[in-house]
Structures are given as C-alpha cells and as structure tokens.
Amino acid sequence: MKNSIPNQFLYDVVNQQENQFQQAKSDKQWSKLLFSGSNLWMDTGDFDAASELWTNEFSALTTNNTLLNAEVQKGVYDHIITTIGKQLNGLNQDEKVDEVAFCLNAIHGLRLAKTFNCKVSVELHTNYAHNSEMTYQVGKRLFELCKEQFIIKVPFTAAGLIGARKLHDEGVPVNMTLCFSVRQNVLASMIAKPAYSNVFVGRVGAYFANNGFNTAGHIGEMVTTEAQKCLRKVNERGYANTKLIAASIRSANQINDLAGTDVLTIPVGVVKDFNKLGLKGEPSIEMPSGALIKQLNLKHLWQVNDQERGVAVKLSTKVPANQDILVEQFHKYGCHDIFPELSNRELVQIKEDGKIPQHNKWSGRIENFEIGIDTLLNRAGLFAFIKDQAALDARIVNYL
C-alpha cells in the first residue's frame, strides 16, 4: 500500500509499551489435557485476563475483530491512532482508516506475542473477506512482521479460500475461521490447505438451542469430533496438513468431551470454569434425534457428500483466479447451498438476526437444500465481525 507505515515504527511502538514476559507455572489439570493430544490456546486479546490464567501448557492466543475492538475501545491505543494518522500524508480517509486498523492489529498482536512468548492468531480487516488479492497482500504483510509467531486468520468465503491458498503457497500459516460443519472444514483443508481450520462448537449448538430444537443433543461436539476424523483422513491422503481447532467453546464440559482435538481455543471464562472442575473422564456426546436429522437435513453438518468431495478434489490441484469462477465450480458440481445466491433482503435479514439466525425465516430454503445451516452461521458470523470492525474503525476516525 502507498505511504504505509514502516515495520520499524510498529516494532518501536511495541517496545515502548509494557510488554514484560509473563513467567508462568505448570498446572496439573491443563498438563493432563495436553496428554490427550490437544494443543491449548487461549481465546482472548485481554492482557490482564490472560496474565491471570496463563500457564505453561498454553501455546497460543487467538484474537479476532470483536476481541481487538474490545481492547481498542478501552482507549489504550488512542494516542497511537493520532500519531500514526499524522504520518499518513497523501491518503484519503478510507485509506487512512484501513492503514491505522492494520497497524493496531499488528501492534496488539506483536505485544501479545512478546508478552506471552507464544503464537498469536491475528485476523484480517473484514473489508478483505470478499477480496482474495487483498487477503493475500495484507495477510502476507501481517505475517512478515512476526514470522515465527503470527498465524493469519482468514474467513471461509469464496475469496477467502483463494487468498488463503495463495498465502499457503508462500509458506504463510493460515487459520481458516468461521467454519461450522465437516464439509466446510474438508473443503477448506483441500482447497486452501491452511495450517488450521475451525468448528465453532458453541455457536452450532446455540443455533438449535436458541431456535427451540430441544432434541439436537450435543450437535456442536458431534460435528467437531467428525470433522477431526475427516481432516485426519484428508491429511493421510496427502491433500493437506490441516489441524482442527475446536473454537467457540462455551463450557468446561465441552473441553472434556473434545479432549484430543488438535487444538482447543478456550475463552477466559471457560478457562476459569475448567480450573474448578478439571477433566471428568470419558466424553458424553448425544446425537440429535432421527426426526430432527431428517427434518432439517442435518447430515450436511457432519457428512461430506459425493458432489462436495468432487469439487474439493477438483480445486485441490488448481484454484481459480477469482471467486466468481470458484463459485461456478461449486454450482457445477451441485453444491448450491454452500455459496448460494442471496438477495439484498436476505443479506439484511442475516445481518439483523445477529450471530444466530432465526430458523423460521430460513426453514423452507434449508429443507429444500437451497442453503445450509452452516452457510447461515458463516454469513451471520462474518456480519458480526463486520459490525465490531465498524465500531473499531469509527474510533479511529474520531482520533485521526
């Protein structure tokens, strides 16, 4: 980007902050969980919260647009916004906001990496979610600031798949986020080949709980365990080398049920709960009722059909240059409900519903295989991030 802030300035800002390395101790319960095979990440950008709970068993922190916005709104970076703004001559307002937002993301990530001596998963500005070239350019720029510790978060979109694949091809570790099903994770791993992909465990469960489906069982946990099995098969067959993250964990019980998943990324509230309860032993995952599975075509959440396998294999060798061609390939293989055409009215509806869509407004399209529940959750999650990114950008404007 023209007139972008030099890396040395960002390093200097970080070195001027209080970033003293946090000495940590080991914890018996977290150590026991490590022996299950799970890597442990803490899901927060809050220095005080992480410092209180950090142990040697944790190896990474993960942030996103929402978590970064929460830190920026505390006012701790207001003076930095002003300082950066004075250096951005020759840029229009939107360009200035994008550049300052990049710098805040970079500075906060660098501070976390230095303070906790760990890897940090940092998410790109939501402006790039549907722009594969900017995903690639900005993702690469962010990674090069801290190659040993940064992992670049990219959302599961058509453009995100293309941008993430370009990043992978240049050795940039990607965390493909906003996945809610086995098929999304398999498609992400084979097409984009990220280092990590996700199932948002708690949000899958919340969709059914919030919409009054009392026979959904532990559907988020079930989807996650099946995604783990499938990703390991994908890796064994040489299509990728992707680890699964169990994200959006809501309870200590879910940690117990998902022990052994490649990565558990855990919010601070759940870390506190687990500190009290510890591991309980064998997992207990209840399947949804057969009637609900049939009614809502739920198998699309934990199975990959022949058409989805076909498009994954096709695109694993060569990814199209732009998202329109990629979506055409999905539709050509009959996978219409993953990247469906949505009207402006429907997009507004998803945005207004918040993180959890209202099922009764989509039931007909779901039951007719026109849109998947995983697709709805993906779009809703992205809109939630866009809302928080807009709040962050508004604060930047106030201090420019």
Catalytic residue set: 153
Among 216, 184, 217, which residue's Cα sits nearest to residue 200?
A: 184
171: region left, alpha or beta (phi > 0 left; psi from -120 to 50 alpha): left
φ and ψ at residue 231, rounded to 5 degrees: -65, -35
Residue 262 contacts residue 245 (beta carbons within 8 Å): yes
How far is residue 116's CA from residue 92's CA, in Å, rounded to a whole number?
A: 36
Residue 164 contacts residue 174 (beta carbons within 8 Å): yes
- Report in angstroms the alpha-carbon separations of 386 from 77, 85, 107, 164, 342: 20, 22, 20, 19, 18
How far is residue 189's CA from residue 239's CA, in Å, rounded to a whole number?
A: 8
Alpha carbon 357 to chain centroid, angstroms: 18
What residues contact 41, with CB distance under 8 A and at least 6 apart? 58, 59, 60, 61, 62, 121, 245, 263, 264, 265, 266
Q: How many CB atoms lie within 10 A of CB 22?
A: 14
Handedness of CA 327, 197, 127, 322 (dihedral sign): negative
